[in-house]
Structures are given as C-alpha cells and as structure tokens.
Amino acid sequence: MLKIDCPWCGPRGENEFTYGGEAGTVRPIPATAIDDAIWARYLYIRRNEKGAHRELWCHSGGCKQWFVMLRDTVTHAIAAIEKIGSP
Amino acid sequence: MTTTRYSFRRILREGLSGHRGWTPAWRSPELKKHYDAVIIGGGGHGLATAYYLTKNHNVRNVAVLERGWIGGGNSGRNTTIVRSNYFFPESARVYDLALRLYEGLAADINFNIMLSQRGLLTLAHDEHQMEMARRSVNAMLINGIDVELLDAAQIKAEVPLLNFAPDARFPIHGGYVQRRGGVARHDAVVWGYARGADALGVDIIQGCEVTGFRMDGERVIGLDTSHGPVDAGVIGMAVAGHSGVLAAKAGFQLPILSYALQAMVSEPIKPVLDTVIMSASTGAYVSQSDKGELVIGAGLDLYPSYAQRGNLPTTQNVLAGLVEMFPSFRRLKLMRQWAGIVDVCWDYSPIIGPAPIDGLFLNCGWGTGGFKAIPAGGYLLAHLLATGQHHAFSAPFDLRRFETGALIDEAAGAGIAH
C-alpha cells in the first residue's frame, strides 16, 4: 500500500488515487506537420524507467486534483510530490 | 555429457539403485567467443526459441544468456494456464499454435510437462456480459477454437461450489468454456525446454547479464556481458518485463509498459476444483494444483513497477473476488504471494519481429499472457532468427503496427482486469 501525500488533502492510502501515465508527454504540433512515426511516438512510446519515474496521479477518490509524483518503480519509494505547474 | 532419456524403466532402475545415477538436466558451459545465434533471456520463450532454432532450422552454435537462473523469472511466477480463446484471427492462430505444440510437447522433449486440459471456464455475471460472451464465442468458433457457451444451470452442474446464492453480489448468468484449455506445470515447461535445447548442443549460460550491444554502424554484431564480450551472427531478445531496459541499452524504445502481475497460492486442500475459473468482474482467476493448493491470479497493479511483489490493495481485491465466487474458500490460509513483471503493449498483443536495429529480433509484449504462448513465441522467433523473415503467423505482430495503426486489440482477450 502506497501512502500518497496529496498536495491538497494530505496523506491518504493508494486506493483513493488513480495512476495517470508518465509526466512530460507533450503533444506534437502542428498536426499538419506530424507524420505517422512522430504521432506513434507520442501515442505509444514511454520511457518506462526502471528506477526514478516522474508520473501523473489523480486523487480520484478525494479532491479530484492531478499532481506529479516522483516514484521509484523498483522500491515504490515516493521521493517527491508536486502540484502541476510548480517547478 | 549425454542427456539421460527419461522413461518408466529408467525410474524403476534408479529407484532400485538409490537414485544415484541421475545426471544434471543440462550443462553449465563457459561462454564462447562467438555464436551463430545468441538469445537474451532464459525464460520459457528464450529457451523454446533456442530449442526450435536448433531442431527445426538446424542452426548449431546457439547460446541462451540468462541474467538470473532458469525458472527464476516469470516462467516460475505465472499461474500455469494454457488456452487459445482469443477474439481476433491473428491472435487465435498464434495462441492455438502454442496450445497444439503444448499438446505434443511432453513427447517431443521427453519431459512430463503435466499438461492437464481440464477446461477453462470464463464466467459472465450479468446479461450484458452474456451478450459479450455470445459474441466472443461466435468469433472464436469462426477462428476454429473449441469454445462452448454455457448457461447458469450447466455451470452449476459442472462447478457446484460456485456461489449460486440468490443474494450473490456477482450472480452467475452463464459463461463459456474452452475444453482444451487448462494448466501445465510451469517449471517443467521451462526445465524441459532447457534440457531439450541443451541436448541439441545449445549453451545455456546462467548468471550472465547483458550490459551492452556492440554495434557496427546500424547493425548489432555482438553483446557485452558480465561474462565478457560475445560475437553473434544474429540476436533474439525474449526478456518480458525488462524489454524496455534492454532496448534502451540498444538505443531504441518500445511501446511497452512494465507492470507487476500478482499471483498467490493457498494452503493445500483435497480436490475441490477440477477446472480453471476466470472472472473479469471479480478480478480473480483460480485453479487447483496437483499438490492441492489453489493457484489464484489477480489483475494488474495499475501503475508501472519493476518490484516482483505487488501491492496490498490488488491482493485484497482479488481475494475478495475469490471468496465472493467461492464462499467456502473464505477460511483458507494463503501460503505465498508474489508478482512477476509483465510487459504490456497498448493493444495487449505481443511484439514479434525485427527490432529497429539490424541483427536483432524481438519477442516481447506478451503482457499478462506469456506462459500460454511459450511454444509459439519460441517457434516464431526461431523462424525469424533462422530466415530473417516473418512466419505468416507473426507478421501481424510486427513492431510497425504501432505506426500503421493495424493494432490487434485483445484487451478483452487478455481475460483479466487491467
């Protein structure tokens, strides 16, 4: 069980939260200049890191806010939690 | 060393002489400097690849490199289920090839894989799921797969222990069964392929981690390993959850996410369940092993992980589902719980085909269903390594489908919650 410190609600159990994918996936623009390879990369290619992993989570069973979490995918230790848009 | 042939007569002779005549099932050779083909990953898929490469294509001088030990990864962590009840013809062809090879495997490799085709029953818990079951059964029948639609009364007759109480949270409306589905002994499959490949001259190198790919321009010509460098005519990669880690070492990325998939076993009890039960709604699937343990599988832990243990909420969820389906199991104790790291593609179908760099071929992305596919994964990767060309069955599973958009969406065929 992960204990996740929601930036708005404080520490809660992981079953209140939903994983939302890797952080930092940026949609390529403009659409007219995007070929199939670039689009496939955006849709399907992720870093899938073994170790430190920046990822999006949503407090779906609580305040419904999204935030960024830095988690180790081997130990599951949470190193940092940031509000979206903060440095 | 010559491989000892296993037979009833041999067991009798060894039994009478104190079992002192058995020899190791495979050798532990030194890594040579050059191989015609090197396979990364000594799990079921990697060993099956080496076996079929040698046996079907007469490629000699083959090595399998395994970072850990044979049977220590997902080959020893799965729930041992075999089946081919898939929706799309492309998938049905591949998974049924695997099942047909499994049916002849014990005789082929002279190793009892304890294949038990006890049937695999997928439950439908409401009328909408029954409609989907009818649709799936129709598609599977068109694919030539032996499935039957069952109503609730037929299921009650076959598995009376299931929860048919009027107040059941997940009432059973029906389901469908693949009679040729069932279980096989997972360790025996991986050990049997290892022994079979070794007998044909394949070098199995355990404790050998691949640390880098040696390139000549765009082509990979060898590997750096913890046992030193090795030249390879051609390289196959079958490393499941660590496919992304190795791809990064080779300088490319894959459309794969790695998740923990949990399983657990109960204490052993007398025979109570003579088939395999799957239920997407309760998130659990279960069979009973020959030792009497209930072997219970869960859905994915729904965030990326390389930890081979899984987290408590998913464990609780699957066990709640299990005792809902089988109230009589609620006082059983669990003996063990673990997880394997599975490589999940976006369409829940595998990747079989050339890698983005020359000289390297991929067998990965089997996700939650790698064990059932072992013979086919090995057969098809061996074909690629030997000929450089796709087998007709593997062509649809090429990595390029993610660019062309020709995905094979088996999200339902995967059979579990994800």
Question: B314: which chain A residues are within 8 Å (Cβ-Cβ)?
Answer: none
Q: Which residues contact B29 (CB under 8 A, 6 or more apart)?
A: B203, B204, B205
* Both structure tokens of B83: 């089946």
The distance of B361 to chain A (nearest Cα, Å) reads: 18
Tell me if residue B288 falls in helix, strand or coil. Answer: strand
Using a CB–CB cut-off of 8 Å, the residues of A that contact B are 1-2, 13-15, 18-19, 36-37, 40, 43-48, 50, 53, 55, 73-76
Strands B203-206 and B62-66 come out as parallel
The distance of B172 to chain A (nearest Cα, Å) reads: 27
What pLDDT does B352 receive?
98
What pLDDT does B127 receive?
95
Q: Dump pLDDT digits (tens) for B168-206.
A: 999 999 999 999 999 999 999 999 999 999 999 999 999
Does the pLDDT at position B416 exceed 80? no
The distance of B321 to chain A (nearest Cα, Å) reads: 16
Which chain A residue lies closest to B346 (C-alpha atoms)? A44
At residue B387, φ and ψ (nearest 5 deg) are -110, -20
Q: What pLDDT band is residue A86 in, cutting at 50, 70 and 90? A: low
Query: Which residue, among A39, A41, A42, A44, would best test binding to B if mutated, counting the most B CBs under 10 Å from its CB?
Result: A44
Q: Do B9 and B207 form a contact (C-beta atoms < 8 A)?
A: no
Does the pLDDT at position B2 exceed 90? no
What pLDDT does B1 receive?
56
| Mean pLDDT in residue range B114-123 | 97
Residue contact A44–B245, C-beta within 8 A: no
Beta strands in B193-347 (DSSP E): 203-206, 210-216, 219-225, 228-237, 256-266, 276-279, 284-288, 294-304, 334-345
The distance of B266 to chain A (nearest Cα, Å) reads: 21
What pLDDT does B417 receive?
56
The distance of A35 to chain B (nearest Cα, Å) reads: 9
Burial degree of B160 (CB within 10 A; 0-12, 13-18, 19+): exposed
Residue contact A14–B311, C-beta within 8 A: yes
Residue contact A48–B346, C-beta within 8 A: no
Q: Dump pLDDT digits (tens) for A7-50.
A: 999 999 999 999 999 999 999 999 999 999 999 999 999 999 99
Residue contact A2–B311, C-beta within 8 A: yes
Counts of helices then strands in chain A (DSSP H, E): 1, 6
Beta strands in B291-383 (DSSP E): 294-304, 334-345, 351-354, 360-364
What pLDDT does A87 receive?
55
B341: left (phi over 0), alpha (psi -120 to 50) or beta: beta
Residue contact B303–A36, C-beta within 8 A: no
Residue B203: name the closest of B380, B353, B34, B340 by CA.
Answer: B34
Question: B253: which chain A residues are within 8 Å (Cβ-Cβ)?
Answer: 45-48
Question: B244: which chain A residues are within 8 Å (Cβ-Cβ)?
Answer: 47-48, 50
What pLDDT does B412 receive?
76
Percent of chain B clearing pLDDT 90 (strictly above): 95
Question: B346: which chain A residues are within 8 Å (Cβ-Cβ)?
Answer: 43-44
Quote the DSSP letter at residue B273: -
Residue contact B254–A76, C-beta within 8 A: no
Q: Dump pLDDT digits (tens) for B197-246.
A: 999 999 999 999 999 999 999 999 999 999 999 999 999 999 999 999 99
Specify the amino acid at residue B405: G
Q: Do B376 and B363 form a contact (C-beta atoms < 8 A)?
A: no
Residue contact A73–B306, C-beta within 8 A: yes
Query: Which residue, among A4, A14, A48, would best test binding to B if mutated, counting the most B CBs under 10 Å from its CB?
Result: A48
What pLDDT does B3 receive?
76
At residue B270, φ and ψ (nearest 5 deg) are -65, 160
Residue contact A40–B254, C-beta within 8 A: no
Which chain B residue lies closest to A75 (C-alpha atoms)? B307
Q: Dump pLDDT digits (tens) for B142-169.
A: 999 999 999 999 999 999 999 999 999 9
Does the pLDDT at position A82 exceed 90? yes
Which chain A residue lies closest to B254 (C-alpha atoms)? A45
Does the pLDDT at position B418 exceed 70? no
Residue contact B403–A37, C-beta within 8 A: yes
A30 cis-preceded (ω within 30 degrees of 0): yes
Orientation angle between helical segments B44-57 and B374-387, nearest 10 degrees: 50
Burial degree of B286 (CB within 10 A; 0-12, 13-18, 19+): buried
Quote the DSSP letter at residue A60: T
The distance of B289 to chain A (nearest Cα, Å) reads: 29
What pLDDT does B363 receive?
98
Question: A47: which chain B residues are within 8 Å (Cβ-Cβ)?
Answer: 244, 253
Residue contact A76–B305, C-beta within 8 A: yes
Q: Dump pLDDT digits (tens) for B68-117.
A: 999 999 999 999 999 999 999 999 999 999 999 999 999 999 999 999 99
- Give the whole-angstrom CA distance, residue A58 versus residue A56: 7
Reported as type and span, the H/E element at residue B137 is: helix B127-142
Q: Dump pLDDT digits (tens) for B304-347.
A: 999 999 999 999 999 999 999 999 999 999 999 999 999 999 99
Question: A55: which chain B residues are within 8 Å (Cβ-Cβ)?
Answer: 303-304
Does the pLDDT at position B285 exceed 90? yes
What pLDDT does B123 receive?
96
Burial degree of B188 (CB within 10 A; 0-12, 13-18, 19+): buried
| Mean pLDDT in residue range B29-43 | 98
Using a CB–CB cut-off of 8 Å, the residues of B that contact A are 242, 244-245, 253-258, 302-307, 311-313, 346, 402-405
**Which of A36, A45, A53 lies at the smallest CB-CB distance from B253?**
A45
Residue contact B303–A15, C-beta within 8 A: no
Q: What pLDDT band is residue A60 in, cutting at 50, 70 and 90? A: very high
CA end-to-end span of chain A = 28
At residue B191, φ and ψ (nearest 5 deg) are -65, -40
- Output the 3-class SS for A9-49: CEEEEHHHCEEEEECCCCCCCCHHHCCHHHHHHHHHCCCCC
What pLDDT does B413 receive?
72
Which chain B residue lies closest to A20 (C-alpha atoms)? B303
Burial degree of B28 (CB within 10 A; 0-12, 13-18, 19+): exposed
